[in-house]
Amino acid sequence: MSDNSLKIERVETFVLDVPTTRPHVLAMTTMNHQSMVILRLTFSDGTQGIGEATTIGGLSYGDESPEGIQLTLDNYITPMLLKNEYKSVGATMAFINRNIVGNRFAKTAIEIALYDALGHRLGVPVSELLGGRVVDRLSVLWVLASGNLDSDIDEAHKMIESRRHNVFKIKIGKRSVEEDVAHVAAVKKAIGDTGRVQVDVNQAWTRSQANRAAPMLADAGIDLIEQPLAFNDIEGAQHLVNQGVIPIMLDESVQGPKVALDLVRAKAADIYAIKILQAGGLTEAQKVISFAQTSGAALYGGTMLESPVCTIASAQLFSTYEQFEWGTELFSPLLQNDSFINETLDYSDFQLTVPNTPGLGISLNQEKVDFYKR
Ligand SMILES: [Mg+2]
């Protein structure tokens, strides 16, 4: 194969605003739609690859916004891609990393698209390019974030009955510790042994609030606390882990491999949420996973409330590991009111099937893309 003559001929980016099925209430924002940056690369041999960069609620979650990501892709990264001959995914990412500081989300969109295109060129799923598939299905939880107790309980019962989800994450941190604990304890009590409940505080607590809440949540039968403290409060997280009252998961803290290594050294988490966008790409996420796994910590597959594109890219990666002990939260396509891919994702029996066709195994529906793009 004369890869020497291969070039990237076209780079397209779209910001799509897709409405959510219900308002999604988080400690830092309430979402009624999700804005996603979708990228498409076209190579000189005709192969195409798609990628995505999405943040939760614009700039309320991280330091890259959809508009900023699109600008970085269009004005800075695209000219580099068009100017140089294409050699490989690794060489392209190394070149981008030499020339662009930070911008993990934008870089991830490129890497996903490069792997998708390579998978199409070689006729294999992306999982095979990332070490090879170990599992075909991933368990997927559901986030109860309506903000209303009766709706949350009703939603949980419906999910269990339809065998779509039986693990629930509840977003807390907006109200007092007592109100939040009462809310999640009531949900846990209502579903009993038919389901499990975990909470995500999204950095909203002080150390004293976290210390007070931990035993209360453990008593209520809650499985774990995700990101109770500020992303950079490593010492506080370490203290909670040492107390051993309830498992502590870090999410916003895990900003790439270097930080993950610091967290692992500090023994600051029992569980690591793995997000490919937060890590800075699929190969960067592999490093985060390696650090966490080697240290004896457990894994959980996270999301930025992404479209099917990034969701399936994550699933392709997660499928190359024998066990994500705490499952995944790759549910966000189900929170979106409409889909802009041609395929229907298989969510059934509490799990998602990882597509097994070349590349990511999904394709853009151009009509829908045109409808939702800004
Ligand atoms: Mg989280």
Domains and CATH numbers, the chain: 3-123+366-372 (3.30.390.10), 129-353 (3.20.20.120)
Separation between Cα atoms, residue 172 and residue 295, nearest integer Å: 29
Q: How far is the CA of 46 from the centre of ligand 1 (A)?
A: 38
pLDDT at 58 over 90: no
**pLDDT tens, 231-242?**
999 999 999 999
Q: Name the helix (H) or strand (E) containing 52.
A: strand 48-54
In tens, the pLDDT along 92-127 reads 999 999 999 999 999 999 999 999 999 999 999 999
What predicted TM-score, i.e. pTM, was given to this entire model? Answer: 0.95
Matching residue, tokens 């569980």: 271
Return the pLDDT at 1: 47
Least confident of 17-21, 58-62, 231-235, 306-310: 58-62
Give 247 Cα–ligand 1 centroid separation in angstroms.
14
pLDDT digits (tens, 9 = 90+) for 172-193: 999 999 999 999 999 999 999 9
* Angstrom distance (rounded) from CA 206 to CA 257: 26
Mean pLDDT of the chain: 95
- Please check the confidence at residue 62 and state whether its pLDDT lies above 90: no
C-alpha of residue 226 to centroid of ligand 1, in Å? 6
CA distance 123 to 155: 40
How many residues are listed for the chain in this entry? 374
Dump pLDDT digits (tens) for 145-157.
Answer: 887 899 999 999 9
How far is ligand 1, taken at its centre, from the CA of residue 227, in Å? 7
In sequence order, which residues have a C-beta less than 8 Å from that of residue 125 and are 6 or more positions away?
119, 133, 316, 354, 355, 356, 357, 358, 359, 360, 361
Residue 4 confidence (pLDDT): 58
Going by pLDDT thresholds of 50, 70 and 90, the confidence category of residue 129 is very high
- The arithmetic mean of pLDDT across residues 268-294, rounded, is 97
Question: Tell me, what's the pLDDT at 41?
Answer: 98
pLDDT tens per residue, range 326-341: 999 999 999 999 999 9
* pLDDT for residue 61: 77
pLDDT at 2 over 60: no
Q: Catalytic positions, please? A: 171
Percent of the chain at pLDDT exceeding 70: 99
The rounded Cα 129 to chain-centroid distance in angstroms is: 20
pLDDT tens digits along 358-368: 999 999 999 99
